Structure 1
Amino acid sequence: MRVARKLWRLTIIAFVLVALICAWLVWTRGRPQDSPFTPLDLTQPVGMFTGRKLASLGDSTAECHTLLFRAGIRYEALPPAGSDQCAYDNAVRFRPGGALRISYPGRLDLACPVAAALAVWEGQVVQPAAERHLHSRVTRVDHFGSYSCRRMYGRSTGDWSEHARANAIDVAGFRLTDGRRVSVVGDWNDGSPAEQAFLREVRDGACKLFATVLSPDYNAAHRDHLHLDQAARGEMGWRACR
């Protein structure tokens, strides 16, 4: 009797697993972006595994460059720079024109997975949110830079910041085609309802693409910017979003 019961339980478990797999296959046929096996395409809608796929590009600079090229993103591959804990070997710099419609003023050296995530963020999150809430489009992102040889929060000891590897960017605000500027420090809590909704939507959308997203809701140190990084843990699906 015990053997029969065990076989019956195993049969039920197997049936449930097969049913779940079939349901998953049917679901992902209509939404290929939700499959972990669909190749990453920076021009396609964001899916359940897009963030993991973007984070995994840290292990393949050549693949990251190929994805940027296929998406029509103009960029310059940068030579390795820095040393020890403050170094990068897979950074790129955006070039004007191409598919990227947002400019990033000043020198901005970005680890390629961050650049790839920004490209998706623009097309799938930022521009749709700007059109929906602000009835305009974003032409420029104001930022506090990417590469910076420092530890977290500028401390003299402790873990090194993702900025030390050009693996992060701090976004301060957005310039619109109609001349308006929406800033994190000025509009997160004190902007119009539409501006506040826009800022929160681009923050929430970034959480699906970056391993770490920190906003004014996190602490006072982030009152004036959105910190976006592609920490290695993102490849495993471990994300921080606040």
Structure 2
Amino acid sequence: MGLRQFFLALLLFIFFLLPLAVHQRWLDVPPRWDPWAPLDIGAQPNLLTPFKLWRLKQDPLLCRQALDSSPLSYMPLADSEPQANCPLENTVRVQGSEVRLSNSFIATCPLAAAFAMFERHGLQTAAQAVFGQQVARVEHVGSYACRSIAGSQRQSQHASANALDIVGFRLRDGRHISVRRDWSKPGEEGEFLRQVHRAACDSFNTTLGPEYNAAHRDHFHVDMGLFRMCR
């Protein structure tokens, strides 16, 4: 076998035969490395996490299994079309978690699961590293809005409750961190927000912050759209 044939056989094994063997249970692997196992939000994210999040899109039962592995408090919602051309499918109302929320919000299952992962593996890690304490409250300005992207005819991820705009955080000691006020501030507040932005990029498909454009100067936009972007 030549070198080219060897690498082709190796790629075939990695991308087809190995997943097939795991799916058919011919090969036993730990759940976190099994692409067909339900997403465990408490487990450390790995290369399979985006695929497991993607699987939640059309499978409400699998979604609830994932959310039940987190401290997220949520209520499943029936599919509906509350406004023209803005249907809601496989959504939940996120009511809280180990952090309080400024308000509950409607989210697609993948967005809710990504938020739970962001909270556990990114947000609280950043708060502990910078302030030596945890975030007690996440402040946001909503998720669902039946509209197009500003200056475009393309529908926003908000139109399907697949996006969330986060404006600030309150720490356990009562200190308030604002994206608008503190993003460019030197010291702990600015460093914390930059760490949070990087953590959001790891958890969500798209994260847009104050350096993206003027429309995002006061919040982090996070969503689970098709394309990955970290700006």
Class of the TM-score when normalised by the shorter of the 2 chains: 0.7 to 0.9
**Same amino acid, percent of matched pairs:** 36
Change (3 A) 1:17 1:61: closer
- Structure 1 stretches of 4+ with a deviation exceeding 6 A read 18-21, 29-32
CA distance in 1 between counterparts of 2:191 and 2:141 reads 22
CA distance in 2 between counterparts of 1:120 and 1:168 reads 15
Q: Tell whether the 8 Å contact from 2:149 to 2:156 is kept in structure 1 after alignment.
A: yes
Question: Could you say which structure has the higher helix fraction?
Answer: 1
Task: Tell me whether 200-209 or 37-46 shows the greater mean CA deviation.
Answer: 37-46
Aligned residues: 220
In structure 2, the residue matched to 1:227 is: 221
Q: Aligned AA for 2:201? A: C
SS at match of 1:109: strand
Q: Tell whether the 8 Å contact from 2:41 to 2:117 is kept in structure 1 after alignment.
A: yes
Q: Aligned AA for 2:211? A: D
What is the Cα deviation at residue 85 of structure 1? 2.2
Task: Tell me whether 78-87 or 59-68 shows the greater mean CA deviation.
Answer: 78-87
What is the Cα deviation at residue 221 of structure 1? 0.9
CA distance in 2 between counterparts of 1:142 and 1:106 reads 8
Gaps (5+ residues) in structure 1?
1-6
In the TM superposition, what whole-angstrom CA distance separates every residue of 1:121-147 from its partner, at most 9, and x where no partner exists? 111111111011012211111111000
CA distance in 2 between counterparts of 1:47 and 1:114 reads 17
Q: CA RMSD in A?
A: 2.8
* 1:38-49 mapped onto 2 (5 Å cutoff): 39-49=38-48
TM-score normalized with structure 1 length: 0.80
CA distance in 2 between counterparts of 1:11 and 1:86 reads 49
CA distance in 1 between counterparts of 2:60 and 2:71 reads 17
2:146 to 144, 149, 152: 149
In structure 2, the residue matched to 1:241 is: 230
Q: Tell whether the 8 Å contact from 1:50 to 1:209 is kept in structure 2 after alignment.
A: no
SS at match of 2:2: helix
Change (3 A) 1:35 1:185: farther
User: Are residues 1:183 and 2:178 paired?
Assistant: yes
Greater relative contact order (CA < 8 Å, ≥ 6 in sequence): 1
* 1:65-214 mapped onto 2 (5 Å cutoff): 65-79=64-78, 80-96=80-96, 100-153=97-150, 155=151, 158-190=153-185, 192-214=186-208
What is the Cα deviation at residue 71 of structure 1? 2.5
In structure 2, the residue matched to 1:4 is: none
CA distance in 2 between counterparts of 1:240 and 1:198 reads 20
Change (3 A) 1:63 1:30: closer
Larger radius of gyration: 1
TM-score normalized with structure 2 length: 0.83
CA distance in 1 between counterparts of 2:55 and 2:14 reads 27
In structure 2, the residue matched to 1:50 is: 49
